[in-house]
Structures are given as C-alpha cells and as structure tokens.
Amino acid sequence: MTLDTTRFNIIGHGLRAVAQEMGEKLILSAYSVIIREARDCSTSLLDRRGRVMAQAEFCPIHMNSFGKVFEAFADRYDLSKIQPGEALITNDPYSGGQHLNDFVLFTPIFVDHHLVAYSASIGHHIDIGGAAAGPNTRATEVIQEGLRIPLLKFDLERDLGAGMLEQFIRLNVRPPDLVMGDVYAQIAANRTGKTRFLELADRFGLEDVLEAGEELQRYSERLTRAAIRTIPDGEYEADDFVDDNGFTDEPLRVAVRITIEADRMHIDFTGSAPQTKGIVNSPLTSTISPVR
C-alpha cells in the first residue's frame, strides 16, 4: 500500500460513511414501513469489478450478497460498456438474489467518462404481486410468489416514469405508488452514493480513494484470517431444525460441519434437509451471505 496509515484511515472511514449515508437516505425516502421502520434494506459501494469496498450495517442477511448478484450481472452483460444513466436491477433468487421481495439495484459511477465504481442498494418491497399481498406462504413454486425481474440493464430516464420498466412493475403489484416510491428511494440512495464518492475523489484524489477501497478488502481478509487462527484446529459439528415447511409437520434439519486449519475455514452443510415444499428454502446467496 502506498497510502500512509493516517490517509488510509481517513479515506476508509469516508467510504464507510458514504455507504451509511446511502442507507439513511433510503430509509428517510422510503414509502413502506418495512424499509422506513424495520430497516429491511442495505446499501453498499463496490469497485468497478463488483467487489464491496464499504457496506452499511442494516439487514444482516444482506451482508456479502451484493458481490454474488454482481457476478451474475457480469456473466450476463459486458459491463465495461455500461453507460451513464443506465442501471442494473433484479430480484431473481436464481441469479444471485435472495427472495422476490428484495430488489437489488446497481448504478455505475464515472469519473471523466471512465467507470470507477458502483453504488448499490437492496430494498425489501412490501408487495410484488402473486397470490397474496406480501409473502405468499402457500406458494409451492417461485412463479406463485409474484413478479420475477430478470437480470435487467435499463435506462433510468427512458424506462422509468412512463417507460416500460415502471409500467410493468405498476401493473403487477397491488400498491403501485408505494412500491415505485421505494424503487425511487433506492435510486435516491444510489445517487447519494455517487455524489459522496465523487466528493471523496475530488478531495483526496481518485487513485487514493480506489487504493483505499482495495486495501479495505485486504485488511478485512487479514482480520478474518487472524480471527480464524484463534480457533483450535479441528472439526466442529452442530445441527438444528426448522419446525416445518408450512405444509407438513416434518422438521427440516440444518446441519453444519466446520473444519478449521490454521487461518482457513471450510463450512459443509451436507446432511441438511433437501429443497422442500414451501417458502423456507434458502437460495445460494442467502446461504453464502451469513457464512462469509
């Protein structure tokens, strides 16, 4: 690292403050109580490769999930060609999302026409259509839960308002003004991230801000490995049970075997119950997020 410790800490805390302010903006702008009061949301800054530089401390299950969704977008699109005014949105649990109520939104940040970072937000939307208002507890397949948005790259000006994306969402949810209000709250949060990131870059220089973001990632890894080293080498096992799947009385086992070796941890869920009927299944991202 070429940054001295003082400068690194100032910029690093600045990046975390940006992510936190994004979250506060989302909460203050939201229409629904589930975001405004329950704070079922998250905000983050990512580098241009989709690696998290800073994330606000809101909903725990969202932690570490932004990167998996971004990977899916990067597989779907050549993101080196993304343009100012474009954005990425999805809620698809088969493409890095968690459950359909969670909309994930990425907007790119440019400096002198060069892509340098992304601001991102997740918001739990109170209704997404389907057979029931809110989560459909009687659903047996994802299609019954509501509107499923693919990995979609869209134009903010063209596709919102009277545009196709907003009209499509409005026609498929029960309280369209409330749902779109929360979508616009996510857009406002992401714009706050862009504005504050550019202010940091203007004050400290873009190269130093990006270097600080990379060093935060390396620093986080060092802290995690140091924490793992304090655990004696060996295998640790545990299990617990979900009461039922909503249709039968059969409990669902969640089993884990953790292997510690020096500064490495391997986590194995072999022995856990397979996919089941009902809305208690954990998508891949929802499983990876708490593990990390």
Rounded distance, CA 65 to CA 121, Å?
11
DSSP state of 262: T
Q: Are residues 214 and 238 in the same domain?
A: no
CB atoms within 10 A of CB 184: 15
Closest CA to 125 of 34, 189, 37: 34
What are the Cα distances from residue 14, in Å, to 55, 152, 199, 273? Answer: 12, 31, 10, 43
Q: Establish if 128 belongs to a structural domain.
A: yes
Q: Establish if 229 belongs to a structural domain.
A: no
207: its two tokens? 């190269």
Chain-centroid distance of CA 33 in Å reads 20
Q: Establish if 269 belongs to a structural domain.
A: yes
Domain count, the chain: 2
CB atoms within 10 A of CB 251: 13
The reported pLDDT for the residue numbered 290 is 82
Phi, psi dihedrals of residue 42, rounded to the nearest 5°:
-155, 155
Per-residue pLDDT of the chain (292 residues; tens, 9 = 90+): 789 999 999 999 999 999 999 999 999 999 999 999 999 999 999 999 999 999 998 887 887 889 999 999 999 999 999 999 999 999 999 999 999 999 999 999 999 999 999 999 999 999 999 999 888 889 999 999 999 999 999 999 999 999 999 999 999 999 999 999 999 999 999 999 999 999 999 999 999 999 999 999 999 999 999 999 999 999 999 999 999 999 999 999 999 999 999 999 999 999 999 999 999 999 999 998 888 7
Element (H, E) at 197: helix 176-204
Q: Establish if 226 belongs to a structural domain.
A: no
pTM of the entire predicted model = 0.96
Q: Establish if 109 belongs to a structural domain.
A: yes
Q: Are residues 157 and 206 in the same domain?
A: yes
Q: Are residues 210 and 274 in the same domain?
A: no
Which residue range forms the structural domain that includes residue 259? 234-291
